[in-house]
Each structure stands twice: as structure tokens, then as C-alpha cells.
Amino acid sequence: HRRFDYRPKTDPYCQARYTFCPTGSAIPLMKEEDVIEVYRLQAPVWEFKYGDLLGHLKIMHDAVGFKSSLTGKNYTMEWYELFQLGNCTFPHLRPGMDAPFWCNQGAACFYEGIDDAHWKENGTLVLVTTISGTMFNEMAQWVKYDNETGIYYETWTVQASPEKESIVWFDSYECSKFILRTYQKLADLGAVFKKVQTNYTSIILFSGEPIYLGNETSIFGPLGNRTLAAAIRDFYNPFKPHQTIKEFFVDLTKIIDRVILNHQFYLFYNLEYWFLPMKFPYVKIIYEEVPLPVASKASSGV
């Protein structure tokens, strides 16, 4: 996933149904001698059934919790979409505009408190490691860097086959990936993680080798490829980004039908368009283990 120099200003056209990070606050500076407990937090976004193709699925949202021994205060840190999931996955087709218009950014949100009931009743709230105040402060610096340079949300993982060692053409960039990066950073700083099973949700598309199509200007600009532009617009036409989680999954089923019927998918990734020659089993939502990282003695920096 490409890093960018800065986060672009959001277009006023992009409106969120729910405010991003409404109670967010700056990450506090912890005292060096503080001992901070780190918690893995996970709860379902939605569970749904789509025929025999996908079965009953666990769509999970991940976050990380902290508790300061010195102050007794709890904090939650998570990473999610600025304009909800539909906007990160599907573009708007706006009248008078040839190119699909994307309202897609993701960012970290940090706030005081852990909603114990939310995480415990429906999912997971488990201690994974303990760190010093110094390590917490170094992690906070890294979060700032990560947040300023990794700005686009990416729903899909794209790989060649369901095999474990399969080629990954494109990696997703969403809430769980941020949590995995955070754990890795803490391990690089010397955190030692407990032996806890940790599973994450991935939405995977299966494709032959992707074909590069170009960027917005080269496809939709004045010297663009009219036929290709029309094909991309046609592909995205059934999907309406401003929607509820439920409507998002209705559209997801539409896209799956199209993908299976036509064996094709147009992917927008790091501001470029790619054609995916889709192949069986086309799409899968998996919930699989990604082990907690092993502490490394040498810090890798940012």
C-alpha cells in the first residue's frame, strides 16, 4: 500500500452519515515510568447470509485499548472510514462528471474510555501485552506518521487463489490492518505479547494477473479511452455509496453476482484503475488467525 506525502482536504460533496470520531482527542503524553495494559478489542459489524456461496459470516471491527496504571484511565484507538464503508468501496457517479467520484479516506481515532459492554458482550476484550509509558509515547509518534501517510481505505484483498501461499496482488487497508501494524510497532519497541489466538476478517477477491488500465486522467480525461470509461461507469452503476450497513451488503451481493456472471471486476487502488480477470471461487469473506507478533530486540523505526 502506497504512502502519500500528505492527507488531501476532503471535498464538501463527501458527507458522512455518522460523524467520524465524534469524541476523539489527542493522544496523551504518558509518564515514562507508567505501566500500560494493552487490550485487543473486537466486535461484529454485521453478520449476514448470502446463499451457499458465502455462508454465515463474521464481519468484525477491530480496535486496541489501553489502561494507564498511574492514572487508572482507559483509552480506545481504532482506524475506520471517514465517510462510512460504502463510500470507500464504491464511487459516486455524479451528473456532469465523467470520472467516478470517490469519497474515500480512512484515519485513526483515539478517545478516552473503553466501552466494556460493547466489546465484551458481542466480542472480545482481552489483555495482550503490557508496555511502558516510553513505549506508548513512541507508538503515539508512529501513529501520527502512519495516519498522515496512509490515507486511503481499501476494502478488498485480491489474490490469485484460496491457497495459503497464494500470490497477493493487492492488500486491503482497513481497521484490522491498522491494529496489526500497531501490534507490530509495539513488538519492534520490545513489547512481549501473550499467547492469545487472534482472528481477523478479510474480504478476498480471486483474480488472474491484474491488468493496469491507467489513472483518472488517462481514462476519463479529454484524451482518455471512451470505451473503457463507459465500461468502468457501467460496472459501478448499480452501487450507491450513501447507505446503511444493510444497504452496503445488498450492493455487495449485486457486485458478487456481476463478478461471477461476467468474471470481471474494476478495482480502484492507490488512485489507479485495474482490471481483474476474476476466477473461481470469485469472492470469499474469511475469518482467520493472524498470530500476535514476536518481539524483536532491534527497533525498526517508522
- Calpha distance 133→128 (Å, rounded): 16
Amino acid at 85: L
Cis peptide before 281 (omega within 30 of 0): yes
- Calpha distance 135→187 (Å, rounded): 10
What is the predicted pLDDT for the residue at 52? 36
**CA distances (Å), origin 32, targets 131, 133, 186:** 10, 4, 15
Average pLDDT, integer, range 31-52 = 78
Amino acid at 55: G
What confidence tier does 281 reach under pLDDT thresholds 50, 70, 90? very high
64, 41 contact by CB (below 8 A): yes
What is the predicted pLDDT for the residue at 297? 55
244, 16 contact by CB (below 8 A): no
* C-alpha grid cell, residue 164: 495459503
296 phi and psi, to 5 degrees?
-110, 145
What confidence tier does 57 reach under pLDDT thresholds 50, 70, 90? low
For the question of residue 61 being annotated catalytic, the response is: yes
288 phi and psi, to 5 degrees?
-135, 165
What is the predicted pLDDT for the residue at 121? 80
- Calpha distance 213→234 (Å, rounded): 16
What is the predicted pLDDT for the residue at 51? 38
Q: Which of 181, 194, 180, 88 is nearest to 131 (CA)?
A: 194
For the entire predicted model, the pTM comes to 0.89
Average pLDDT, integer, range 157-177 = 95
What confidence tier does 44 reach under pLDDT thresholds 50, 70, 90? confident
Residue 266: pLDDT over 50? yes
Q: What percent of the chain has pLDDT over 70?
A: 92
Q: 14-18, 160-164, 169-173: which has the minimum mean pLDDT?
A: 14-18
What confidence tier does 173 reach under pLDDT thresholds 50, 70, 90? very high
Average pLDDT, integer, range 254-273 = 87
What is the predicted pLDDT for the residue at 258? 78
Report which DSSP code applies to 7.
P
What confidence tier does 287 reach under pLDDT thresholds 50, 70, 90? confident
Q: Which of 80, 286, 126 is nearest to 200 (CA)?
A: 286
79, 179 contact by CB (below 8 A): yes
What is the predicted pLDDT for the residue at 300? 45
* C-alpha grid cell, residue 158: 485480491
What is the predicted pLDDT for the residue at 48? 47
For the question of residue 92 being annotated catalytic, the response is: no
From the candidates 61, 88, 92, 109, which is the catalytic residue?
61
Strand ranges (E), 143-242:
156-159, 168-170, 199-207, 211-215
* C-alpha grid cell, residue 52: 451457499
* C-alpha grid cell, residue 153: 481505505
For 55, other C-beta atoms within 10 Å of its C-beta total 10
- Express each pLDDT in 214-246 by its tens digit: 999 999 999 999 999 999 998 988 777 666 767
Residue 53: pLDDT over 70? no
Residues sharing a CB contact under 8 Å with residue 163, sequence separation 6 or more, in sequence order: none
What is the predicted pLDDT for the residue at 241? 66
Strand ranges (E), the chain:
35-46, 59-68, 74-81, 106-112, 124-132, 156-159, 168-170, 199-207, 211-215, 264-269, 272-289
What is the predicted pLDDT for the residue at 156? 93
What is the predicted pLDDT for the residue at 36? 98
What confidence tier does 47 reach under pLDDT thresholds 50, 70, 90? very low
- Calpha distance 184→210 (Å, rounded): 29
